[in-house]
Amino acid sequence: MVTLVRISEFVAQAPGSILSRLVEAVRTAFAGDPKLRRRVAFSIALIALSAKMAKADGIVTQDEVSAFHDIFSVPREEMRNVSRLYNLAKQDVAGFEAYARQMSGLCGSGKADCPMLEDILDGLFHIAKADGVLHEREAAFLARVAEIFSISEVRFAQIRARHVADASNPYVVLGVGPDTSFDEIKRRYRQLVAESHPDRLIARGVPEEFLAIANTRVAALNAAYEQIEKSRSLHERV
């Protein structure tokens, strides 16, 4: 967490608005280490947007705090640096849409369905649903962030279906239609599992702690594929 210590110090000392300071910190810190810079960018984006989501919802439950720690394993002595960043973003007068627009630049301007931005949205869903309910304001917040991130409706529906029980549908989880051939479903399933491989996530800059959430993503993909496979097999025997 030394990265967050340095970012926290930069944000506290630099002039300008909180949002501009965060963005500048992401751009300039660790300029000689692209891999570390991506990790910092991911961490800053998720901390800032989770703070804005808490403000939009108006309530932060202990379950949501625990879910946050699923993603960030923070040593006790460094927790104040994470708390500082979280509280600065939460109190900033800039709205969440301004934060989301700035963070969307992590994948370059206009890039649709960016894996790193989908990872951030996945983390936000994990926190939002931790208390057992995805509240209306949280759902609206997440949908708007996805729109700003240029995440397609199909990809957003996939992410939502992995987290929200009443939205779960094996075809939606895999991003295919009920009339899709089984060979195409298998190809799509393997592609999605490959995208969630730990090596790929680490290369995108996600913290190692996030890999536990990636494992639940793969479990959801496996369950969806197995459900479709079983359904197709039964249908063929009828």
CA dihedral 211→216→218→223, nearest 10 degrees, is 170
Q: What pTM was computed for the model?
A: 0.83
Amino acid at position 166, single letter: D
Across 228-233, average pLDDT: 88
* pLDDT of residue 237 exceeding 50: no
Higher pLDDT, 177 or 168: 177
Across 184-196, average pLDDT: 94
Instruction: For residue 14, name the pLDDT band (cuts at 50, 70, 90).
Output: low
Across 132-145, average pLDDT: 91
* pLDDT of residue 238 exceeding 50: no
* pLDDT of residue 75 exceeding 60: yes
Q: Tokens 């000689």: give the residue.
A: 32
| pLDDT value of position 235 | 63
Which of 37-51, 78-92, 138-152, 195-209 has the weakest average pLDDT? 78-92
| pLDDT value of position 16 | 60
Instruction: For residue 7, name the pLDDT band (cuts at 50, 70, 90).
Output: low
* pLDDT of residue 166 exceeding 70: no
If one counts every other C-beta atom within 10 angstroms of the C-beta of residue 218, the result is 15
Instruction: For residue 109, name the pLDDT band (cuts at 50, 70, 90).
Output: low
Instruction: For residue 180, name the pLDDT band (cuts at 50, 70, 90).
Output: very high
Higher pLDDT, 144 or 130: 144
**Residues 123, 210 contacting (CB under 8 angstroms):** yes
Burial class (CB in 10 A: 0-12, 13-18, 19+), 5: middle
Measure the CA–CA gap between 24 and 13, rounded to whole angstroms: 12
Higher pLDDT, 221 or 133: 221
